[in-house]
Amino acid sequence: MTAAEKLECRECGAEYPLEALYVCERCFGPLEVAYRREPIADLAGLKRRIQGGPQNIWRYSDFLPLAGGPPGPSSRLASRSGLPAGCTPLIRADRLAQRLGLGEVWVKNDAANPTHSFKDRVVSVAAARARELGYEVIACASTGNLANSVAAHGAALGMDSYVFIPADLEEPKVLATGVYGTHLVAVRGTYDDVNRLCTQISAEREWAFVNVNLRPYYAEGSKTLAFEIAEQLGWETPDRCVVPVASGSLYTKIAKGFEEWLELGLVTGDLPTMNGAQAQGCSPVATAFAAGHDVCRPVRPDTIAKSLAIGNPADGPYALDLARRTGGAIDAVSDDEIRAGIALLAQTTGIFTETAGGVTTAVLAKLAERGDIDPGERVVLFVTGEGLKTLDAVRGTFTTYEIDPSVEAFAAAAADAVSA
Protein backbone atom coordinates (compact mmCIF):
# COMPACT_ATOMS: atom_id res chain seq x y z
CA MET A 1 0.00 0.00 0.00
CA THR A 2 2.44 2.67 1.15
CA ALA A 3 6.03 2.01 2.11
CA ALA A 4 9.14 4.10 2.53
CA GLU A 5 11.11 3.56 -0.65
CA LYS A 6 14.13 5.87 -0.65
CA LEU A 7 15.61 9.15 0.46
CA GLU A 8 15.28 11.99 -2.01
CA CYS A 9 16.97 15.41 -2.12
CA ARG A 10 14.42 18.20 -1.72
CA GLU A 11 16.57 20.50 -3.85
CA CYS A 12 17.76 18.42 -6.82
CA GLY A 13 15.80 15.14 -6.56
CA ALA A 14 18.88 12.91 -6.27
CA GLU A 15 18.00 9.54 -4.74
CA TYR A 16 19.67 7.67 -1.87
CA PRO A 17 19.03 4.40 0.01
CA LEU A 18 17.13 4.46 3.33
CA GLU A 19 20.26 4.77 5.49
CA ALA A 20 21.58 7.26 8.05
CA LEU A 21 22.05 10.01 5.47
CA TYR A 22 20.73 13.56 5.60
CA VAL A 23 22.65 15.65 3.09
CA CYS A 24 22.70 15.42 -0.69
CA GLU A 25 26.26 14.92 -1.86
CA ARG A 26 25.46 16.57 -5.17
CA CYS A 27 24.01 19.89 -3.99
CA PHE A 28 24.09 19.82 -0.17
CA GLY A 29 20.27 19.94 0.01
CA PRO A 30 18.32 18.11 2.74
CA LEU A 31 17.16 14.54 2.16
CA GLU A 32 13.56 13.53 2.74
CA VAL A 33 11.84 10.13 2.90
CA ALA A 34 9.93 9.26 -0.27
CA TYR A 35 7.18 6.62 -0.26
CA ARG A 36 5.92 4.22 -2.84
CA ARG A 37 2.18 4.70 -3.01
CA GLU A 38 -0.50 2.68 -4.60
CA PRO A 39 -4.11 3.82 -4.73
CA ILE A 40 -6.14 2.49 -1.81
CA ALA A 41 -9.27 0.64 -2.87
CA ASP A 42 -10.73 0.19 0.59
CA LEU A 43 -10.48 3.56 2.37
CA ALA A 44 -13.11 2.61 4.95
CA GLY A 45 -11.11 -0.51 5.78
CA LEU A 46 -7.93 1.55 6.22
CA LYS A 47 -9.75 3.96 8.52
CA ARG A 48 -11.03 1.07 10.62
CA ARG A 49 -7.55 -0.40 10.80
CA ILE A 50 -6.11 2.92 12.00
CA GLN A 51 -8.88 3.31 14.55
CA GLY A 52 -8.26 -0.20 15.81
CA GLY A 53 -4.51 0.40 16.11
CA PRO A 54 -2.51 1.16 19.24
CA GLN A 55 -3.22 4.36 21.18
CA ASN A 56 0.00 6.01 20.03
CA ILE A 57 1.74 7.12 16.85
CA TRP A 58 2.25 3.54 15.66
CA ARG A 59 -1.39 3.47 14.57
CA TYR A 60 -0.02 5.51 11.63
CA SER A 61 2.93 3.24 10.91
CA ASP A 62 1.79 2.79 7.29
CA PHE A 63 2.87 6.40 6.82
CA LEU A 64 6.13 6.27 8.78
CA PRO A 65 9.57 5.23 7.51
CA LEU A 66 10.17 1.98 9.35
CA ALA A 67 11.11 -1.06 7.30
CA GLY A 68 9.75 -3.58 9.80
CA GLY A 69 6.44 -1.87 10.62
CA PRO A 70 5.66 -0.75 14.15
CA PRO A 71 8.18 -1.77 16.81
CA GLY A 72 7.19 -4.31 19.43
CA PRO A 73 6.39 -8.00 19.50
CA SER A 74 3.33 -7.45 17.31
CA SER A 75 1.48 -4.41 16.05
CA ARG A 76 -1.24 -5.11 18.59
CA LEU A 77 1.34 -4.89 21.37
CA ALA A 78 3.16 -1.87 19.94
CA SER A 79 1.75 0.29 22.70
CA ARG A 80 3.93 -1.65 25.12
CA SER A 81 7.19 -1.02 23.28
CA GLY A 82 9.61 1.79 24.09
CA LEU A 83 8.08 5.07 25.18
CA PRO A 84 4.89 5.40 23.15
CA ALA A 85 4.07 8.94 22.03
CA GLY A 86 1.01 10.60 20.56
CA CYS A 87 -2.74 10.31 20.83
CA THR A 88 -2.73 13.56 22.77
CA PRO A 89 -5.94 15.54 23.44
CA LEU A 90 -7.50 17.91 20.93
CA ILE A 91 -9.59 20.20 23.09
CA ARG A 92 -12.27 22.58 21.95
CA ALA A 93 -11.41 25.97 23.45
CA ASP A 94 -14.64 27.98 23.33
CA ARG A 95 -13.64 30.39 26.08
CA LEU A 96 -10.39 31.21 24.32
CA ALA A 97 -12.25 31.64 21.02
CA GLN A 98 -14.78 33.93 22.65
CA ARG A 99 -12.06 36.04 24.26
CA LEU A 100 -10.42 36.51 20.87
CA GLY A 101 -13.66 37.02 18.94
CA LEU A 102 -13.16 33.82 16.93
CA GLY A 103 -15.64 31.13 15.94
CA GLU A 104 -14.00 27.77 16.56
CA VAL A 105 -10.63 27.15 18.19
CA TRP A 106 -9.14 23.80 19.18
CA VAL A 107 -5.99 23.27 21.20
CA LYS A 108 -3.76 20.33 20.32
CA ASN A 109 -2.11 19.68 23.66
CA ASP A 110 1.10 17.86 22.87
CA ALA A 111 2.43 18.51 26.35
CA ALA A 112 0.50 15.28 27.08
CA ASN A 113 3.35 13.12 25.78
CA PRO A 114 5.67 10.91 27.86
CA THR A 115 8.32 13.64 28.30
CA HIS A 116 5.80 16.46 27.92
CA SER A 117 6.52 17.76 24.44
CA PHE A 118 5.91 16.83 20.80
CA LYS A 119 9.53 15.71 20.56
CA ASP A 120 8.52 12.22 21.72
CA ARG A 121 6.88 11.72 18.32
CA VAL A 122 9.98 12.46 16.30
CA VAL A 123 12.33 10.66 18.67
CA SER A 124 10.11 7.54 18.64
CA VAL A 125 10.48 7.31 14.89
CA ALA A 126 14.19 8.19 14.80
CA ALA A 127 15.09 5.81 17.64
CA ALA A 128 13.12 2.96 16.08
CA ARG A 129 14.83 3.57 12.74
CA ALA A 130 18.23 3.83 14.48
CA ARG A 131 17.63 0.37 15.92
CA GLU A 132 16.67 -1.01 12.53
CA LEU A 133 19.92 0.38 11.13
CA GLY A 134 21.90 -1.30 13.91
CA TYR A 135 22.88 1.74 16.01
CA GLU A 136 23.51 1.30 19.73
CA VAL A 137 23.78 4.97 20.68
CA ILE A 138 21.30 7.77 20.12
CA ALA A 139 22.26 11.44 20.41
CA CYS A 140 20.96 14.93 19.71
CA ALA A 141 21.57 18.67 19.68
CA SER A 142 18.76 20.16 21.73
CA THR A 143 17.12 23.32 23.02
CA GLY A 144 15.71 21.24 25.90
CA ASN A 145 12.58 19.33 24.96
CA LEU A 146 14.48 17.06 22.61
CA ALA A 147 17.08 16.49 25.34
CA ASN A 148 14.37 15.18 27.70
CA SER A 149 12.99 12.93 25.00
CA VAL A 150 16.23 11.44 23.72
CA ALA A 151 17.44 10.71 27.26
CA ALA A 152 14.12 9.06 28.15
CA HIS A 153 13.88 7.04 24.94
CA GLY A 154 17.46 5.85 25.44
CA ALA A 155 16.47 4.60 28.89
CA ALA A 156 13.24 3.01 27.64
CA LEU A 157 14.94 1.22 24.76
CA GLY A 158 18.13 0.30 26.61
CA MET A 159 20.27 2.41 24.29
CA ASP A 160 23.16 4.58 25.41
CA SER A 161 22.54 8.28 24.77
CA TYR A 162 24.47 11.53 24.40
CA VAL A 163 22.62 14.82 24.73
CA PHE A 164 24.18 18.17 23.79
CA ILE A 165 22.52 21.36 25.08
CA PRO A 166 23.41 25.05 25.32
CA ALA A 167 24.87 25.64 28.79
CA ASP A 168 22.33 28.40 29.60
CA LEU A 169 19.25 26.18 29.28
CA GLU A 170 16.37 26.42 31.79
CA GLU A 171 17.16 24.32 34.87
CA PRO A 172 13.98 22.17 34.75
CA LYS A 173 14.93 20.99 31.25
CA VAL A 174 18.45 20.14 32.40
CA LEU A 175 17.18 18.23 35.46
CA ALA A 176 14.50 16.42 33.45
CA THR A 177 17.24 15.18 31.12
CA GLY A 178 19.95 14.14 33.55
CA VAL A 179 17.58 12.03 35.60
CA TYR A 180 17.38 9.42 32.83
CA GLY A 181 21.07 8.60 33.14
CA THR A 182 22.18 10.06 29.82
CA HIS A 183 25.58 11.53 28.98
CA LEU A 184 24.62 15.20 29.28
CA VAL A 185 26.97 17.70 27.63
CA ALA A 186 26.40 21.43 28.28
CA VAL A 187 28.08 23.45 25.54
CA ARG A 188 29.16 27.03 26.19
CA GLY A 189 27.44 28.65 23.22
CA THR A 190 24.10 29.07 21.45
CA TYR A 191 21.96 26.25 20.09
CA ASP A 192 23.45 26.95 16.68
CA ASP A 193 26.94 26.35 18.12
CA VAL A 194 25.67 23.08 19.63
CA ASN A 195 24.16 22.11 16.30
CA ARG A 196 27.40 22.83 14.43
CA LEU A 197 29.34 20.79 16.96
CA CYS A 198 26.94 17.85 16.63
CA THR A 199 27.15 18.02 12.83
CA GLN A 200 30.92 17.66 13.21
CA ILE A 201 30.76 14.91 15.85
CA SER A 202 28.22 12.93 13.82
CA ALA A 203 30.84 12.58 11.10
CA GLU A 204 33.33 11.12 13.58
CA ARG A 205 31.19 8.71 15.62
CA GLU A 206 28.96 5.76 14.82
CA TRP A 207 26.02 7.34 16.62
CA ALA A 208 22.46 7.99 15.55
CA PHE A 209 22.06 11.72 16.02
CA VAL A 210 18.29 11.91 15.79
CA ASN A 211 18.25 15.44 14.35
CA VAL A 212 21.44 15.20 12.29
CA ASN A 213 22.15 11.96 10.42
CA LEU A 214 18.71 10.48 11.30
CA ARG A 215 16.88 13.74 10.60
CA PRO A 216 14.93 12.54 7.53
CA TYR A 217 13.28 9.84 9.69
CA TYR A 218 12.95 12.04 12.75
CA ALA A 219 11.15 14.77 10.81
CA GLU A 220 8.54 12.28 9.53
CA GLY A 221 7.33 11.81 13.11
CA SER A 222 5.82 15.30 13.10
CA LYS A 223 3.33 14.21 10.42
CA THR A 224 1.53 12.22 13.11
CA LEU A 225 0.26 15.50 14.58
CA ALA A 226 -1.63 16.14 11.34
CA PHE A 227 -2.92 12.57 11.17
CA GLU A 228 -4.19 12.71 14.74
CA ILE A 229 -5.91 16.05 14.30
CA ALA A 230 -7.60 14.90 11.10
CA GLU A 231 -8.75 11.71 12.82
CA GLN A 232 -9.92 13.60 15.93
CA LEU A 233 -11.92 16.01 13.76
CA GLY A 234 -13.73 13.10 12.11
CA TRP A 235 -11.42 12.64 9.09
CA GLU A 236 -11.51 16.33 8.15
CA THR A 237 -8.73 18.87 7.91
CA PRO A 238 -8.99 22.09 9.94
CA ASP A 239 -9.08 25.43 8.11
CA ARG A 240 -6.05 26.91 9.82
CA CYS A 241 -3.14 25.81 12.00
CA VAL A 242 -1.00 28.03 14.23
CA VAL A 243 2.31 26.25 14.73
CA PRO A 244 5.59 27.24 16.41
CA VAL A 245 8.59 27.65 14.11
CA ALA A 246 12.15 26.95 15.27
CA SER A 247 13.96 24.99 12.53
CA GLY A 248 10.72 24.88 10.52
CA SER A 249 10.66 21.08 10.50
CA LEU A 250 7.51 20.62 12.63
CA TYR A 251 5.66 23.35 10.73
CA THR A 252 6.41 21.93 7.28
CA LYS A 253 5.89 18.28 8.24
CA ILE A 254 2.44 18.95 9.70
CA ALA A 255 1.47 20.25 6.27
CA LYS A 256 3.08 17.19 4.66
CA GLY A 257 0.93 14.95 6.87
CA PHE A 258 -2.27 16.67 5.76
CA GLU A 259 -1.14 16.61 2.12
CA GLU A 260 -0.41 12.88 2.19
CA TRP A 261 -3.86 12.07 3.54
CA LEU A 262 -5.64 14.51 1.23
CA GLU A 263 -3.89 12.91 -1.72
CA LEU A 264 -5.05 9.46 -0.63
CA GLY A 265 -8.59 10.69 -0.11
CA LEU A 266 -8.44 9.61 3.52
CA VAL A 267 -9.61 13.04 4.71
CA THR A 268 -11.91 15.70 3.31
CA GLY A 269 -11.13 19.40 3.14
CA ASP A 270 -8.14 21.38 1.93
CA LEU A 271 -4.61 21.94 3.06
CA PRO A 272 -5.07 24.34 6.02
CA THR A 273 -3.80 27.89 6.01
CA MET A 274 -0.50 27.50 7.82
CA ASN A 275 0.50 30.22 10.29
CA GLY A 276 3.99 30.04 11.77
CA ALA A 277 4.86 31.56 15.14
CA GLN A 278 8.23 32.85 16.32
CA ALA A 279 9.56 34.96 19.19
CA GLN A 280 10.78 38.42 18.20
CA GLY A 281 14.06 37.66 19.97
CA CYS A 282 14.69 34.89 17.44
CA SER A 283 12.66 35.47 14.31
CA PRO A 284 14.79 34.78 11.23
CA VAL A 285 11.86 33.17 9.40
CA ALA A 286 9.30 35.85 10.31
CA THR A 287 11.78 38.53 9.27
CA ALA A 288 12.42 36.87 5.89
CA PHE A 289 8.67 36.41 5.39
CA ALA A 290 7.98 40.09 6.04
CA ALA A 291 10.83 41.14 3.73
CA GLY A 292 9.68 38.84 0.91
CA HIS A 293 12.94 36.86 0.98
CA ASP A 294 13.09 33.15 0.23
CA VAL A 295 16.08 32.41 2.47
CA CYS A 296 16.66 33.34 6.12
CA ARG A 297 19.51 35.39 7.47
CA PRO A 298 20.75 33.82 10.72
CA VAL A 299 20.34 35.70 13.99
CA ARG A 300 21.67 35.42 17.54
CA PRO A 301 18.73 34.43 19.74
CA ASP A 302 17.68 36.49 22.75
CA THR A 303 14.25 35.38 23.95
CA ILE A 304 12.52 33.59 26.83
CA ALA A 305 11.24 31.08 24.26
CA LYS A 306 14.42 29.03 24.39
CA SER A 307 12.80 25.97 22.85
CA LEU A 308 12.37 28.05 19.67
CA ALA A 309 15.78 29.73 19.87
CA ILE A 310 17.27 28.48 16.63
CA GLY A 311 19.00 31.36 14.88
CA ASN A 312 19.89 29.38 11.77
CA PRO A 313 16.75 27.40 10.81
CA ALA A 314 17.47 24.40 8.58
CA ASP A 315 14.00 24.35 7.01
CA GLY A 316 13.63 28.13 6.76
CA PRO A 317 13.23 28.24 2.95
CA TYR A 318 10.55 25.53 3.03
CA ALA A 319 8.71 27.22 5.89
CA LEU A 320 8.60 30.47 3.92
CA ASP A 321 7.31 28.65 0.86
CA LEU A 322 4.59 26.87 2.87
CA ALA A 323 3.35 30.07 4.51
CA ARG A 324 3.08 31.74 1.13
CA ARG A 325 1.43 28.94 -0.80
CA THR A 326 -1.25 28.35 1.86
CA GLY A 327 -2.08 32.03 2.28
CA GLY A 328 -0.64 31.96 5.79
CA ALA A 329 2.11 34.00 7.38
CA ILE A 330 5.00 33.77 9.83
CA ASP A 331 4.56 36.23 12.70
CA ALA A 332 6.72 37.12 15.68
CA VAL A 333 5.71 38.23 19.18
CA SER A 334 7.60 39.90 22.04
CA ASP A 335 8.57 38.24 25.32
CA ASP A 336 5.81 40.21 27.09
CA GLU A 337 3.27 38.99 24.54
CA ILE A 338 4.55 35.43 25.11
CA ARG A 339 3.98 35.76 28.88
CA ALA A 340 0.51 37.16 28.19
CA GLY A 341 -0.14 34.28 25.80
CA ILE A 342 0.79 31.70 28.44
CA ALA A 343 -1.61 33.37 30.90
CA LEU A 344 -4.42 33.70 28.33
CA LEU A 345 -4.24 30.01 27.42
CA ALA A 346 -4.02 28.91 31.07
CA GLN A 347 -6.93 31.11 32.15
CA THR A 348 -9.28 30.21 29.30
CA THR A 349 -8.49 26.52 28.80
CA GLY A 350 -6.77 25.18 31.94
CA ILE A 351 -3.73 24.26 29.84
CA PHE A 352 -0.36 25.41 31.12
CA THR A 353 2.11 25.67 28.28
CA GLU A 354 5.81 26.32 28.11
CA THR A 355 6.98 29.46 26.33
CA ALA A 356 6.55 28.00 22.81
CA GLY A 357 2.79 27.66 23.43
CA GLY A 358 2.81 31.25 24.67
CA VAL A 359 4.28 32.15 21.30
CA THR A 360 1.54 30.36 19.34
CA THR A 361 -1.24 31.70 21.58
CA ALA A 362 0.11 35.25 21.24
CA VAL A 363 0.31 34.87 17.47
CA LEU A 364 -3.27 33.56 17.39
CA ALA A 365 -4.32 36.67 19.34
CA LYS A 366 -2.41 38.84 16.89
CA LEU A 367 -4.05 37.20 13.86
CA ALA A 368 -7.47 37.62 15.47
CA GLU A 369 -6.83 41.28 16.21
CA ARG A 370 -5.57 41.84 12.67
CA GLY A 371 -8.79 40.36 11.30
CA ASP A 372 -6.95 37.62 9.41
CA ILE A 373 -9.26 34.86 10.67
CA ASP A 374 -12.79 34.45 9.36
CA PRO A 375 -15.37 33.74 12.11
CA GLY A 376 -16.39 30.58 10.25
CA GLU A 377 -12.91 29.09 10.39
CA ARG A 378 -11.97 26.04 12.41
CA VAL A 379 -8.55 26.85 13.88
CA VAL A 380 -6.09 24.51 15.61
CA LEU A 381 -3.62 26.06 18.04
CA PHE A 382 -0.52 23.95 18.67
CA VAL A 383 0.77 23.62 22.22
CA THR A 384 3.96 21.61 21.88
CA GLY A 385 5.36 21.64 25.43
CA GLU A 386 4.60 21.74 29.14
CA GLY A 387 4.51 24.87 31.32
CA LEU A 388 6.32 23.22 34.22
CA LYS A 389 9.49 23.22 32.09
CA THR A 390 9.64 27.02 31.88
CA LEU A 391 8.35 28.19 35.25
CA ASP A 392 10.54 31.30 35.18
CA ALA A 393 8.25 32.73 32.51
CA VAL A 394 5.33 33.02 34.94
CA ARG A 395 7.22 33.93 38.11
CA GLY A 396 5.98 37.27 39.47
CA THR A 397 2.96 37.43 37.16
CA PHE A 398 0.35 36.98 39.92
CA THR A 399 -0.19 37.71 43.62
CA THR A 400 -0.12 35.16 46.42
CA TYR A 401 -1.77 36.14 49.72
CA GLU A 402 0.23 34.74 52.61
CA ILE A 403 -1.75 34.77 55.87
CA ASP A 404 -1.74 33.43 59.40
CA PRO A 405 -4.10 30.47 59.89
CA SER A 406 -7.05 32.53 61.20
CA VAL A 407 -10.44 33.46 59.76
CA GLU A 408 -9.76 37.14 60.52
CA ALA A 409 -6.50 37.09 58.60
CA PHE A 410 -8.26 35.52 55.64
CA ALA A 411 -11.09 38.09 55.81
CA ALA A 412 -8.54 40.91 55.77
CA ALA A 413 -6.69 39.40 52.83
CA ALA A 414 -9.96 38.79 50.96
CA ALA A 415 -11.00 42.44 51.46
CA ASP A 416 -7.59 43.50 50.22
CA ALA A 417 -7.95 41.24 47.17
CA VAL A 418 -11.35 42.70 46.29
CA SER A 419 -10.09 46.27 46.51
CA ALA A 420 -6.94 45.41 44.53
Partner 1 sequence: MAVTVKIPTQLRAAAGGAAEAEVEGTTVGEVLDALFEQFEELRDRISEDGGILRRFVNVYVGGEDIRFLDGLETPVDDGAEVTILPAVAGG
What is the per-residue binding string for partner 1 in 57-96, x denoting contact by CB under 8 A?
Answer: ----------------------------------------
Judging by beta carbons within 10 Å of its beta carbon (0-12, 13-18, 19+), is residue 413 exposed, middle or buried? middle
Distance of alpha carbon 260 from alpha carbon 35, whole angstroms: 10
Selected from 128, 130, 141, 208, the binder of partner 1 by CB under 8 A is 141
The answer to the question of residue 385 lying near partner 1 (CB under 8 A) is no
Longest dimension (CA), the chain: 77
Q: For partner 1, what does the binding mask look like between residues 18 and 57, x meaning CB under 8 A? A: ----xxxxxxxxxx--------------------------
User: Distance between CA atoms of 128 and 146, rounded to whole angstroms?
Assistant: 16
Which parts of 311-340 interact with partner 1 (CB under 8 A)? 312-315, 317
* Beta-carbon count within 10 A of 185 CB: 17
Rounded to a whole number of angstroms, the minimum distance from the CB of residue 340 to partner 1 is 26
d(CA 47, CA 133): 30
Residues in contact with 238: Cβ distance below 8 Å, sequence separation at least 6, in sequence order: 106, 229, 269, 272, 378, 379, 380
Q: Which is nearer to partner 1, 29 or 103 (CB)?
A: 29
202 vs 232 by CB, closer to partner 1: 202
Residue choice 90, 246, 255, 323 for contact with partner 1 (CB under 8 A): 246
Residue 144 touches partner 1, criterion: CB under 8 A: no
The CB density around residue 270, as the number of other CB atoms within 10 Å, is 12
**CB of residue 332 to partner 1, shortest distance in Å:** 17
If you count DSSP H runs as helices and E runs as strands, how many of each does the chain have, helices first? Answer: 14, 13
Among 43, 196, 394, 413, binds partner 1 (CB under 8 A): 196
Q: Tell whether residue 165 is a contact of partner 1 (CB under 8 A).
A: no
Terminus-to-terminus CA distance in the chain, angstroms? 64
Answer yes or no whether residue 215 interacts with partner 1 by CB under 8 A: yes
Which is closer to partner 1, CB of 91 or CB of 130? Answer: 130
Given 247, 280, 326, 384, the residue binding partner 1 (CB under 8 A) = 247
We find the least distance from the C-beta atom of residue 47 to partner 1, in angstroms, to be 31
CB within 8 Å of 404: residues ≥ 6 apart:
none
Run of H or E residues at 334: none
Binding footprint of partner 1 on the chain (CB under 8 A):
11, 22-31, 141, 191-193, 195-196, 198-200, 202-203, 209, 211-212, 215, 246-250, 295, 297-298, 300, 310, 312-315, 317
